[in-house]
């Protein structure tokens, strides 16, 4: 009996000692990263993560860069040292030169929602999936998507007009833009009519429950802890139930879409130009070792649904907000649109027409600079590295600060924090920009494969809205950019709207 008690005592003491070492001793006195400058830990449990999650998205990172430099150590869960980098040369090394030596860290929530498609695949799997998917995103294929995008944009315009005609002038644009983006990805991604703008959609409801529901400390904690303690997602909590239901809907819809297209392909009827049809047709021509599995094709759909609608919705929303805050810029854009499309009832641009609008291009680029949908990207080094003269042990989580680069005065001058589309007409600035200091879609072999689709969708949605409506801030209504789960307008994108007369 005594021996059993002694063994249990030694075990408990060992666990306490190990925890003490990992949380109290190793991060501050032994870790090779301890001499890297950065903010002090604020908590034994969450390090500096509470500050990152609770403040406006990206603000802590920018503050740290000003105080500590471009290479910063901060503390993650259980005081684990993390690295933050806002240096273009190091970013090139990590994302471009040696992209497969730096993998994406475990994200249990992300994997549950979109699976191991292009976003989370690594190594040979990623190379194979990327090679197979690239032909679906050619210039010509994107051009053929424009009529579908215009059709949904016109439905969105009609929905806003209905609100105004019913007497509403202060409108919550968050659900409208999100549903429009979902309807667009349904058409261009899978030739499928979600019709979420005009009728209830289980997929729209599922995404709304993830991205627009209240953000509580418990919800953030569950998201972070699930990476370390997977069973925590099985607890019968409301946040877990909501997340589980959303994942189930996404999985079920994706599986159904794949099965429907496979059935058409077997009957020789798969002649559409949506992304899924293109992927299946391409897949059927490849040797076995280069093909995607049925499961991987489902993951691509889950990825397109998530990344293809939420990022565009975020960008379009912030563009409207910035134009409402800067009426002169909004007037300039509308002047260009009126000249290009004199009869607003016949808004039906081609791909080339929408991309020929110079000031629209400036507004889009500036929005993606200061309100990029991905304010940072995260990586983990699979072996020991030396970065910026600092030794970085393998398995260190590394955050690459996209927004910090996009707001760097060294690159963008003293007005780096300001929304100024005209800066993109200045050759002294644009001649010094590269795919390493302006990276709204990341860079290298793991960059966003759908960037051309996203930009086309963004431009068309923004064009039809600004051509038809005037946007102003709602007096007394303040909007901030929340950090979790995505950099969206909080509490929602509310704007005062009026119709542009013919």
Enumerate the known binding-site residues: 448
> How many C-beta atoms lie closer than 10 Å to residue 193's C-beta?
13
Q: Which residues contact 479 (CB under 8 A, 6 or more apart)?
A: 321, 489, 490, 491, 492, 493, 494
Given a contact cutoff of 8 angstroms between Cβ atoms, the answer to whether 336 and 466 are in contact is no
Binding residues for heme: 448
Q: What tokens appear for 85 in the block?
A: 């980098």
Q: Which residue has the tokens 């099985």?
A: 234
| Alpha carbons 94 and 80: distance in angstroms, whole number | 21
Q: Output the six-digit token pair for 426.
A: 């200045």
Distance (Å, whole) CA 399 – CA 378: 5
Q: Which residue is associated with the tokens 């130009």?
A: 273
Q: Give the DSSP per-residue string, 439-461.
A: -TT--GGGS-TTHHHHHHHHHHH
CA–CA gap between residue 335 and residue 342 (Å, rounded) = 10
Determine if residue 397 is left, alpha or beta; phi over 0 gives left, psi from -120 to 50 gives alpha, anything else beta. beta
Cα–Cα distance for residue pair 409/400, rounded to 1 Å = 17
155: left (phi over 0), alpha (psi -120 to 50) or beta: alpha
Backbone angle region of 58, left / alpha / beta, with phi > 0 → left and psi within -120 to 50 → alpha:
left
Give the 3-state secondary structure of residue 380: strand
What is the spatial distance between Cα 320 and Cα 330, in angstroms, rounded to a whole number?
A: 9
Q: Which residues pair with 75 in a beta bridge?
A: 81
The gap from C-alpha 218 to its chain's centroid, in whole angstroms, comes to 22
Element (H, E) at 409: helix 409-412
């Amino acid at each position: 009996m005594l021996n059993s008690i002694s063994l249990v005592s030694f075990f408990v003491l060992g666990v306490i000692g190990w925890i003490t070492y990992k949380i109290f001793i190793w991060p501050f006195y032994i870790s090779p990263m301890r001499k890297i400058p950065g903010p002090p830990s604020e908590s034994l449990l969450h390090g500096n993560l509470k500050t990152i999650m609770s403040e406006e998205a990206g603000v802590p990172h920018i503050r740290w860069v000003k105080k500590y430099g471009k290479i910063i150590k901060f503390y993650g869960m259980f005081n684990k040292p993390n690295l933050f980098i806002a240096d273009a040369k190091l970013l090139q090394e990590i994302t471009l030169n040696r992209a497969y030596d730096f993998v994406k860290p475990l994200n249990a929530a992300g994997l549950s929602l979109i699976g191991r498609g292009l976003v989370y695949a690594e190594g040979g799997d990623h190379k194979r999936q990327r090679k197979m998917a690239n032909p679906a995103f050619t210039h010509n294929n994107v051009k053929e998507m424009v009529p579908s995008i215009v059709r949904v944009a016109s439905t969105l315009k009609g929905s806003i007009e209905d609100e105004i005609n019913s007497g509403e002038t202060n409108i919550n644009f968050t659900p409208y833009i999100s549903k429009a983006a979902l309807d667009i990805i349904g058409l261009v991604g899978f030739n499928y009519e979600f019709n979420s703008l005009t009728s209830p959609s289980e997929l729209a409801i599922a995404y709304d429950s993830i991205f627009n529901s209240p953000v509580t400390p418990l919800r953030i904690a569950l998201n972070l802890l699930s990476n370390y303690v997977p069973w925590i997602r099985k607890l019968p909590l409301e946040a877990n139930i909501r997340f589980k239901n959303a994942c189930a809907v996404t999985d079920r819809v994706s599986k159904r879409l794949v099965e429907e297209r496979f059935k058409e392909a077997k009957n020789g009827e798969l002649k559409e130009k949506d992304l899924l049809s293109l992927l299946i047709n391409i897949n059927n021509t490849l040797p076995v070792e280069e093909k995607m599995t049925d499961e991987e094709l489902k993951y691509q759909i889950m990825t397109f649904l998530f990344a293809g609608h939420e990022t565009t919705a975020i960008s379009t929303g912030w563009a409207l907000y910035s134009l409402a805050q800067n009426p002169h810029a909004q007037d300039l854009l509308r002047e260009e649109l009126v000249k290009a499309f004199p009869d607003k009832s016949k808004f039906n641009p081609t791909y080339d027409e929408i991309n020929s609008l110079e000031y629209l291009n400036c507004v889009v680029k500036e929005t993606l600079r200061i309100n990029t949908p991905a304010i940072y990207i995260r990586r983990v080094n699979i072996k020991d590295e030396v970065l910026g003269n600092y030794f970085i042990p393998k398995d260190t989580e590394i955050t690459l600060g996209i927004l910090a680069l996009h707001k760097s005065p060294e690159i963008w001058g003293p007005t780096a924090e300001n929304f100024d589309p005209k800066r993109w007409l200045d050759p002294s600035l644009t001649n010094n920009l590269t795919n390493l200091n302006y990276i709204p879609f990341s860079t290298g072999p793991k960059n966003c494969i759908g960037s051309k689709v996203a930009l086309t969708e963004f431009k068309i949605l923004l064009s039809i809205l600004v051509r038809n409506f005037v946007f102003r801030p709602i007096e007394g209504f303040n909007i901030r950019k929340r950090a979790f789960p995505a950099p969206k307008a909080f509490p929602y994108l509310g704007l005062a709207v009026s119709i542009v007369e013919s």
